[in-house]
Chains A and B, each alone.
Chain A
Amino acid sequence: MNPGVLTIYRWELRKLRAQKRTYLGLGAAALVPIIFVVALAARNGQPEDVAFGRYLHDTGLAVPLVLLLFGSIWMFPLITALVAGDIVASEDRNDTLKGIFTRSVERHQIFAGKALATFTYAIAAIAITGAVALVAGILVSGFNSIVSLSGTRVSATEGLGLVGLSLLFYLVPILAIASIGLLFSTVFRNSAAAIVGTLMFSLLVQLIGILPGLGGLQPYLLSTQFNAWQGFLRSPVDWEPVLRALWVCALYAAPALIAAVLVFLRRDVAGD
């Protein structure tokens, strides 16, 4: 009975649990909402020009939503890249590929295990930010109803469901970023280059979005998909950005993953 992807996945998680960077990423995911809420409680002002900003003092439900908006610029891409960009490159750094490639698992299984572990970490990061932001927000601003983007008032419980749904859907572009991080990690064989590369990619895509004359590309940029969850906070639900995010993110993630797998399968594991 040969081991499979599940065995590798479990061990990749175990390796992540033994590394500092994992806690750095997840720690940031927990700390940022706390700092945000503390700052909010200390001062009366609030960001007016951002969606849900004006409700921050009315309901804790607004806190995770505002963080999702701010976090898409670089915080969540960075937290994701921290592990995605490292998970293959760290094997190069420690020269450990030769060890795991000469056991009884095929290279594609190893890659699949690594990709699943990366996605698990990214999901954990978003879940932590969401949970901490909700709890801290509710403690400070209360568990109250929220006004949707269409101007209708939504009850607290229904609002909570919508926040959960938004967090869940936020994973779609996050996993696309993770896929790109995996590609860079595989190709660059260097953690720092892969992490910076992933972040640069994310920022460059946003730059394209604000260049004059390129506005037509806006709906198809990866950065735009980070706002797709707002479709859930309209009444009725605006499915158009939601559905588009699904296929646009797939168009970013699939080629990146396929390219990464091909490189991983074919690469020579030679010394330096």
Chain B
Amino acid sequence: MVTAEATPIEVRGLVKRYGDLVAVDQVDLDVEPGDVFGYLGPNGAGKTTSLRMMLGLIRPSAGSVRLFGRDPQVSVKALEGVAGFVEAPSFYPYLSGRENLRLFAALDGGGAKGRIEESLGIVGLSERAKDRVGGYSHGMRQRLGIAAALLREPRLLLLDEPATGLDPGGMRDMRDLIRELSASGMTVLLSSHLLAEVEELCNRVAIVRSGRVAYQGSLAALRAEAGEGYLLRSPDEARARAVLAAQPGIRDVTVTEEGTRFAAADEAAVGALSLALAEAGAPILELTRRHATLEDLFFSLTEGDGVGPAAERQNGGDPAPAPVEAA
């Protein structure tokens, strides 16, 4: 029952335990058609393990994965229209790049064989395709990995840290390529520990921490959640804080290294605050608008001290996942 509307990735209650270690803990994911979905988290958060389960390489301890409605644990037929790699893509070092792709194309069947040269061209490896992969650089292997994935004409591409180990130029090329592929209609799941990469490429994200999803939703909603605030610096911090506490329309006052941060109901409240500060004899060194960066949010979600309600929540903008069901 593969239809155009079928959800590319639907993960429910996914768990992987290695003895006492829980590598992936109750992960729910929904990747919709056309998404460039960022699977974001620090190293060791269980991203690769999740991807391996999505590709049917390892068995979940519990939970289920559906790719376009099909279970990759049952048969590789579930990987029809799906391609990608986990960790660094691997090849037979004693075969040339082209031979490696020929092998994969043979195992893909269909028209994959006819796409070898085109795929090599897309990733810019046509010149070196006759050389043994054993002599390839890390970046070349990474690109050959993409070429190998493209042989399958995927509608869904799963990429695990595709920019890892690339030089800045290589990283830029990789991002351009992902953007092009996405523009051509491909759904992409991109695991990464680089916030900037995800911010640049993805429309939706799941932020994982210690195997659990700490946030899932659109980047826009996450940005909104990060919200904006103000920063106040004064040589007389104690007096300034007393004014802040008493001022109407001012809330969420926190002391940071930079100065005192707060949120305001509107700009008028901030204007009133400046007058009140002057009146109270608390000089203003700086009073500026500050955007909480995604980075702040990322760290608060993934390192999670004092995150409060931000942790373990699904963003309201998206349909909440259905409860875990047995496979």
Contacts and interface: CB of A to CB of B under 8 A. Distances in A.
Given A99-B85, A271-B48, A105 B103 contact: no
Interface size on A, as a range, is: 20 to 34
B294 interface: no
Contact of A7 (B77, B82, B95, B106): B106
Tell me the dominant secondary structure on chain A's binding face.
Answer: loop
A102 B92 contact: no
Interface string A92-126: 00111111111111100000000000000000000
A11 B95 CA distance: 11
A94 B84 contact: no
Nearest to B106: A7
B89 A3 contact: no
Contacts of A106: 75-76
A101 B108 contact: no
A103 B87 contact: no
Contacts of A1: 109-110
Interface residues of B, number: 36
B109 A102 contact: no
B76 A15 contact: no
Interface in B52-85: 52, 55-59, 75-77, 79-80, 82-85
B103 A101 contact: no
Contacts of A105: 76, 107
A19 B132 CA distance: 12
Contacts of A18: 92, 94-95, 99
B83 A102 contact: yes
A104 B90 contact: no
- Give the one of B49, B83, B108 with max A CB within 10 A: B108
- 6 residue pairs, one from A and one from B, having the closest CB atoms: A103-B107, A268-B58, A95-B90, A269-B57, A3-B109, A18-B94
Given A15-B103, A271-B48, 7 more contacts: A7-B107, A18-B95, A98-B86, A98-B87, A106-B76, A269-B57, A270-B58
